Amino acid sequence: MQTDACAIFDVGELPELYRVDQERIELAKARQAAVFRGEKPDRWPVLLGGDRTEEQKRIPSPNLQEAFNDIELMICQQMRAACGTANSGSDAVPSVRGNYGVAVLLATLGLEQQTFPDKMPWPKDHLTKEQIADLTPDAIKIQGTFERGLNFMRRHMEIMKESPAIYCMDTQGPFDLAHLIMGDEIYYALYDAPDLVHHLLEFCLALNIRAHEMMKEISGEAMNECYHSCQLYSDCMGIRICEDTTVLISPDAMQEFALPYTQRLAQHFGGAWVHYCGRNDHLTRAACAMPEIRAINFGHIPGHQHDHPFEEDMQCCAETGTVLFGNWPRFDDESGKNYLRRMYKWASKGVLVTNVGAALHGGDPLPSREAVLDFWYGM
C-alpha cells in the first residue's frame, strides 16, 4: 500500500523542488566525457553523493514494489536520488531511470517478474528449448513491464522536460539476457546444445539493440551517449553491458559464447562500458583488451570488497587505456586523506572516475564533502 505521503504528493511540484546549478552539471559532464575519450580535463573528476534539502525531503520514498507498480511513485523514487547527486557539488551527473529490474527486457516476450517491497524484481518463468529455437526478432513486442518503462520515460519528460536526463533501463548483456531467458539450463546447453545457445545469443543481441534504440528515441540520448547510475556521463560509449552471468563460465566459454556478442553490441553503440560483480581476472583482461570497451565497473560484494587486487586492476586499465568507473573500498587502517591520495594517483592518469564517499566515514575521515572536494582539487 502507498503511504499517505505518497498518496497526496503532487509530482507537478518536482520541477520547482529540483532547482540545480545546471552550469555545474555541464562542467561535470565535460570533465567525465573528456576522461572517457582519453583526454585531459581542466580537473580530474571526482564523484560524491549529496543530501536533499528540507523541501526535497518531502518527495515520497516508496518501497521498490510500490515504485514498480506506479509510474509517478517511480518518478519520485528516482528524483530523490537525483536531487542528492545534484546537491553534492561534485562531478557526479544526476540522472534517472525506470528501475524495473534486470529482466525488464524479457517482458517483450511476455515473461514477467516477481516483485518485492525490499529487493529487486526477479523473473518468474523461462522459455523452453523448443520455444527458444523458434525465437526471431519478430517475437519482440512492446508490452508488459517494458511498455510501462517506456511510459515512465515519457511521463518523466512530460514533468521534468530534459533535466535530469533519463538513462536506459536495466538491460544486461547478451549472455546475461540469454541466462535470464533460458534459466540455469544454459550452463548445460553450452556443451549439449551450443548451436541453440548461439541462436539465443543472436536473438538477445537483436533484443538489446532494438530496446536501446527505442529507449534512446524517447529520451533523446544519442546512440553513442550514456548517462548512468545517477553519476556517469559519456559521449563516446552508448551502452552499459552487464556480464554478471559471464563471470560464472570458463574462459573458453567466455571467448565463444559471451565476448563476441558483447563486442558486437558495443560496436553498434559507438563503445560501451562493462559491469560485473565478483572477481574474474580473465574477464577483466578480456574486457580491457577490447578497443570498444571504454570503461569497466566492479560490484564489490560486502565481505569480499578487497578481493580485487587494486594496483593490478588499475595497472591493467592504464596499460589498455580503459577507465575504471566506480568506487574502490577504503582499507580499515587508511585515513580519509590517504584514501583520496590512493585514488587520485590513478584518476590523474586518466583511468579512474570514482566515488570517494568512503573518505567521509571510518577512522580519521574528512569532515565534509566540501573538505573532500577541496583536498581532491588541490592535489
Assess whether pLDDT exceeds 50 at residue 57: yes
For residue 373, give the nearest of 81, 28, 45 by alpha carbon. Answer: 45
What is the per-residue pLDDT for 8? 82
Interval 45-50 mean pLDDT: 97
Please state whether the peptide bond connecting residue 309 to the residue before it is cis, i.e. omega within 30 degrees of 0. Answer: no
Assess whether pLDDT exceeds 80 at residue 4: no
Burial letters for 152-167: b for 16+ Cβ neighbours within 10 Å, e otherwise? bbebbeebbeeebbbb
Give the span between the Cα atoms of 189 and 205, in whole angstroms. 18
Q: Is residue 2 part of a domain?
A: no
For residue 3, give the nearest of 73, 53, 51 by alpha carbon. Answer: 73
Assess whether pLDDT exceeds 80 at residue 9: yes
Assess whether pLDDT exceeds 60 at residue 363: yes
Q: Is residue 107 part of a domain?
A: yes
Model confidence over 305-358: pLDDT tens digits? 999 999 999 999 999 999 999 999 999 999 999 999 999 999 999 999 999 999
Q: What is the CATH number of the domain that holds 206?
A: 3.20.20.210
CA angle 185, 191, 193 (to 5 degrees): 70
Assess whether pLDDT exceeds 90 at residue 3: no
Interval 292-311 mean pLDDT: 94
Residue 377 CA to its chain's centroid (Å): 26
Q: Is residue 320 part of a domain?
A: yes
Q: What are phi and psi of 137, to 5 degrees?
A: -55, -20
Maximum separation of any 2 CA atoms in the chain, in Å:
61
Asked if 243 contacts 260 with a C-beta cutoff of 8 angstroms, the reply is no
Asked if 274 contacts 262 with a C-beta cutoff of 8 angstroms, the reply is yes
Asked if 339 contacts 360 with a C-beta cutoff of 8 angstroms, the reply is no
> Per mean pLDDT, which range of 84-98, 99-113, 295-309 is the poorest?
295-309
Assess whether pLDDT exceeds 50 at residue 250: yes
For residue 202, give the nearest of 257, 246, 147, 130 by alpha carbon. Answer: 257
Q: Is residue 226 part of a domain?
A: yes
Model confidence over 113-167: pLDDT tens digits? 999 999 999 999 999 999 999 999 999 999 999 999 999 999 999 999 989 999 9
Q: Is residue 15 part of a domain?
A: no
Q: State the helix-helix crossing angle for 259-268 and 174-182, rounded to 10 degrees.
A: 120
Give the span between the Cα atoms of 206 and 247, in whole angstroms. 22
pLDDT band at 6 (very low <50, low <70, confident <90, very high): low
Domains: count for the chain: 1
**Residue-number span of the structural domain to which 108 is assigned:** 23-301+309-377
Share of the chain above pLDDT 70, in %: 98
What is the per-residue pLDDT for 280? 96
Q: Is residue 344 part of a domain?
A: yes
Give the span between the Cα atoms of 156 and 166, in whole angstroms. 8
- What does pLDDT average to over the chain? 96
Give the span between the Cα atoms of 8 and 283, in whole angstroms. 48
Model confidence over 187-199: pLDDT tens digits? 999 999 999 999 9
Q: Is residue 11 part of a domain?
A: no
What is the per-residue pLDDT for 1? 41
Q: Is residue 13 part of a domain?
A: no
